[in-house]
Amino acid sequence: MQETFSFPKTRLTWISKKVNFVEHIYIWDNAGCFNNGNRNIKDFAKYIETVFNINLGDFYYTFLEIEDRKGSRTLFIDKLIKLLEEKLDGLDNSAWLYLRTLFQRHFQIPIH
């Protein structure tokens, strides 16, 4: 029995730099995130190109450029981690302020 695949009605298009997506492809590949790590990276890249409407070109060459970077070689992944940490910190602060306000109202403590 062959599985069928259909795209959602709204198609996503990658608008960031291609090199940023190549970082993702290699990190997902290295982590074995799909098919229990049993996949060909070239086929995986072609699938990703289709799903996210992007032409990665020679992604092997792009990976070599990533490998040759000075300093951090995972610039985009590092940026995403920082953005997520900031988001989580903001949620932590929001939750704390909400709980503080509830506590003050419950115990009728004046807010300064």
Query: What average pLDDT does this structure show over 87-110?
Result: 73
Reported as type and span, the H/E element at residue 79 is: helix 75-106
pLDDT at position 72 is 94
Query: How many angstroms separate the CA atoms of 24 and 52, rounded?
Result: 12
Query: How many angstroms separate the CA atoms of 71 and 82, rounded?
Result: 17
Reported as type and span, the H/E element at residue 33 is: none
Give residue-wise pLDDT tens across range 3-30: 676 767 777 888 999 999 999 999 999 8
Q: Is the pLDDT of residue 107 over 60?
A: yes
The tokens describing 51, both together, are 């799903």
Query: How many angstroms separate the CA atoms of 110 and 112, rounded?
Result: 6
pLDDT at position 65 is 95
Query: What average pLDDT does this structure show over 43-64?
Result: 91
